[in-house]
Amino acid sequence: MLYTSKRNKGGKPMSLPKIDTSNLWDKTYTLLKERIIRRKFDPNHKLSIPELSDQLGVSRTPVRDALNRLEMEGLVKTISKVGTFVVAINDQDVLNIMDTRLMLEFWVVEKLNDVNKDTLKYRLSRMEEILRLSAEKVESNRIDDYLKADFNLEFHLEFMELGQNKNNIDIYLRTMNYRYITMKSSIVTDEMVKVAQDQHQQIVDALKGGQTSDMKQVIKLHLEDSKERLLRGIRENGGTI
pLDDT at 2 over 60: no
Mean pLDDT over 151-170 rounds to 96
Mean pLDDT over 201-225 rounds to 97
Q: Residue 44's pLDDT is what?
A: 93
- Smallest CA-to-CA distance from 44 within 99, 4, 92, 96 is with 4
Q: Which amino acid is at 6?
A: K
Q: Residue 187's pLDDT is what?
A: 77
Q: Residue 16's pLDDT is what?
A: 75
pTM of the entire structure? 0.80
**What percentage of the chain carries pLDDT values higher than 90?**
71
Whole-Å CA distances, 220 to 11, 101, 106, 211: 48, 10, 9, 14
Residue by residue, what is the 3-state secondary structure of the chain?
Answer: CCCECCECCCCCECCCCCCCCCCHHHHHHHHHHHHHHCCCCCCCEEECHHHHHHHHCCCHHHHHHHHHHHHHCCCEEEECCCEEEECCCCHHHHHHHHHHHHHHHHHHHHHHHHCCHHHHHHHHHHHHHHHHHHHHHHHCCCHHHHHHHCHHHHHHHHHHHCCCCHHHHHHHHHHCCHHHHHHHCCCCCHHHHHHHHHHHHHHHHHHHHCCHHHHHHHHHHHHHHHHHHHHHHHHHCCCCC
Q: How confident is the model at residue 84 (pLDDT cuts 50, 70, 90)?
A: very high
Which residue segments constitute the domains of the chain, with CATH numbers given?
Answer: 24-86 (1.10.10.10), 91-236 (1.20.120.530)
Residue by residue, what is the 3-state secondary structure of 124-176?
Answer: HHHHHHHHHHHHHHHHCCCHHHHHHHCHHHHHHHHHHHCCCCHHHHHHHHHHC
How far is 37 from 96, CA to CA, in rounded Å?
17
Mean pLDDT over 123-151 rounds to 93
Q: Which amino acid is at 8?
A: N
Q: How confident is the model at residue 12 (pLDDT cuts 50, 70, 90)?
A: low
Q: How confident is the model at residue 5 (pLDDT cuts 50, 70, 90)?
A: low
Whole-Å CA distances, 182 to 29, 86, 195, 202: 21, 15, 16, 24
